[in-house]
Chain A
Amino acid sequence: MSAYSGPAILVEDLTRRFGDFVAVDHVNFAVGQGEVFGFLGPNGAGKTTTISMLTTLLRPSEGSARVAGHDVDRDDAQVRQAIGIVFQEPSLDERLTARENLEFHAVLYGMRRADRLPRIDDALRLVDLQDRADSIVEKFSGGMRRRLEIARGLLHVPAVLFLDEPTLGLDPQSRRSVWQHIRSLREQTGVTVFMTTHYMEEAEFCDRIAIIDHGRVVVLDTPEGLKNLVGGDVVVVTAPAPQALADYLSDQGLEPSRRNSEVRVEVDDGARFIPRLVRGFPGEIDGASLRRPTLDDVFLKLTGRTIRESELDAGGVARDRMRRFMGAGGRR
């Protein structure tokens, strides 16, 4: 690998417009070498557009980005040589075997034959697919395909590995296995990982996270730092008269938020707060739960919406996604 020692990714005022719509709006961040960096936000927030620009598939409308020291617009060939990508949508050839898919990739990246063969075996081993090397990909489960794509992304020893929603559409078990593999490959290869996700649980595996909403970076910090923004505990109380409960909590100097029959509130010490609330609140209380803040709470705090709600208002994007999904569904 080159002697380049600057940031793995450096983004300055990166902007992309589609007509009047600003998908990515003057975004700035830097990712250090060897870091696992997460881009978290609802569908339609601009995550895939950003990753498309960083991987040279889309050109920026404004601003600049450097990946492994190369400008994504001017030196796109060097950038492409330096990166591995796992796209959001599957991109394997289902009629080829696992090994043929990797071979195809290795040749496109100019790997010499002598390097190709051992490296393909290594990559298959890293994602536990060595036994299925010569099976046609059509027969693979979703999790196996994803793992094969990750192996493919690493094949040519990239400096930066991009993962766009690496576990989208996988069942929880496959999702865990994909995550294990991402972590172990990071330990074994030291590659920089840039990933997008809209799963809060996943974002917690990252060293640092940028939360993106409406094309802008809302906040950028470590998972711990982000959770400290919320502070203390999150208590969710259900009551037959939630508005009365919310008003009561406001009177106590807290900042409750109500969704249907649930009232959610952040407090310093939840274990002491709940009994006090039950004694003090004049109305009825059906139940109360207590948890440590999650990144979902952070997102709610910063944007006033949960990730799920943001996805519901991203109607146009959801429709577009649906259309693509239906198109892909009619393939056989």
Chain B
Amino acid sequence: MSAAAEHDSARDARTPLTEVGPQSGRTAMIAGAVGIIWKREMLRWWRDKPRIISSTGFPLIFLLVFGSGLSGAMGSLIGGGAQAVNFEQFIFPGIIAMSVFFAALFNAVSLVYDREFGILKEMLVAPVSRAAVAFGKTLGGATVATLQGTVVFAFAPLVGVRLSPLLVLQLWPIMFLGAFALSSMGVAMAARMRSIESFQMINQFVMFPLIFLSGIFFPLQGLPAWMNVLVRINPVSYAVDPLRRLILEAQGLPDAVMERLSESGVALSIGGQQISVALAIGIIAVFGVVMNVLAMWLISIRD
């Protein structure tokens, strides 16, 4: 009996622990890591009921306060005074978008929490690539954000918006894509951030212009030139726009009203050329990929 075999049998005698077989392959390991990090985000969200409740109440308040409060003043601006679309209906897709994007950006704070509570360290010392950590975190954040946007669907009857199952199936991928882009951006911002307070500050500093300059709250007509430019370079605009068009188009409005709607700045256009839904989706997808690569890179830096 060789010395090594002898050593092994001695070890068996002492060891009540199950021996562990070979590791999963590299691809399976990365997929597993992304999956378990995603699952953890979901479990944490599901167990945090106050968060679910408040993030449901928040869009409702916006819808009631902004929608009802401003509909008198804003109603006439939309649809060329035809009252075919009231302001509540106009703002409804915006509120969905806002819910999704707030949730996506805010969820990134969990990365700073993870750093503070040591769980990020636990992930970073695992033999899995750090890019997988960033990707799992982003996917989890994007899923949570999409679910929170979905909650807003429940308020559609309150503002007289009809949602068909087909429409919901069209909205989900766009919501998810927008959520993925902003979640990636959030993770990129949080990747090197050491305190929750400073992340919150920077987050708000970035988030409010993105949200307010995206056409969520007002039609994109008659804007000052500088604001016109900002709205059009804001990637979030390209996620809001297809949501709004799909929802309004599905309301069975007469063609004449639809045409007036695009003239009155409901749809996004650059130099008189209307941006198609497909192009808008393409723009937000490219933005999402760039942000995600940035997040992966930032999280991979070793001190």
Q: Using a CB–CB distance below 8 Å, which chain A residues touch chain B?
A: 3, 55-59, 76-78, 80-81, 83, 85, 87, 89-96, 100, 103-105, 107-112, 114-115, 118-119, 122-123, 126, 136, 156-157, 187-190, 327-328, 331
Contacts and interface: CB of A to CB of B under 8 A. Distances in A.
Interface residues of B, number: 41
B192 to A, nearest CB: 15
Contact of A104 (B23, B36, B113, B117): B36
B220 to A, nearest CB: 41
B24 A87 contact: no
Contacts of B196: 327
A81 B127 CA distance: 5
Contacts of A136: 47
B24 A93 contact: no
Nearest to B8: A1
B118 A110 contact: no
B121 to A, nearest CB: 6
Interface in B77-136: 113, 116-119, 121-128
B29 to A, nearest CB: 4
A189 B21 CA distance: 16
Contacts of B265: none
B14 A187 contact: yes
17 contacts: A57-B302, A76-B302, A93-B40, A95-B43, A95-B47, A100-B43, A107-B36, A108-B123, A110-B33, A111-B24, A112-B21, A119-B20, A122-B17, A157-B20, A188-B16, A190-B15, A327-B116
Contact of B302 (A59, A78, A126, A156): A59
Given A57-B125, A110-B23, A327-B195, 6 more contacts: A59-B302, A81-B127, A85-B125, A91-B121, A96-B40, A110-B127
The 6 tightest CB contacts between A and B, nearest first, are A91-B118, A108-B126, A110-B29, A81-B127, A107-B36, A110-B23
Given A91-B121, A328-B116, A119 B18 contact: yes
Nearest to B118: A91
A3 B128 CA distance: 23
Contacts of A59: 302-303
B17 A189 contact: yes
A190 B302 contact: no
A112 B24 contact: yes
A110 B121 contact: no
A188 B119 contact: no
Contacts, number: 125
A84 to B, nearest CB: 9
Contact of B17 (A58, A94, A119): A119
Contact of B20 (A57, A91, A111, A187): A111
Contact of A93 (B11, B17, B44, B195): B44
B107 to A, nearest CB: 14
A80 B130 CA distance: 12
Given A80-B125, A108-B36, A187-B14, A331 B117 contact: yes
Interface string B280-303: 000000000000000000000011
Contacts of A80: 125-127
A144 to B, nearest CB: 16
Contact of A3 (B4, B16, B20, B303): B4
A76 B44 CA distance: 30
Given A80-B126, A327-B116, A95 B21 contact: no
B36 to A, nearest CB: 4
A188 B20 CA distance: 15
Contacts of A188: 14-17
A77 B127 contact: yes
Contacts of A91: 117-119, 121-122
Nearest to B25: A110
B155 to A, nearest CB: 29
B13 to A, nearest CB: 10
A77 to B, nearest CB: 5
Contact of A89 (B11, B19, B118, B128): B118
Contacts of A109: 23, 126-128
Interface string B29-60: 10011011000100110011000000000000
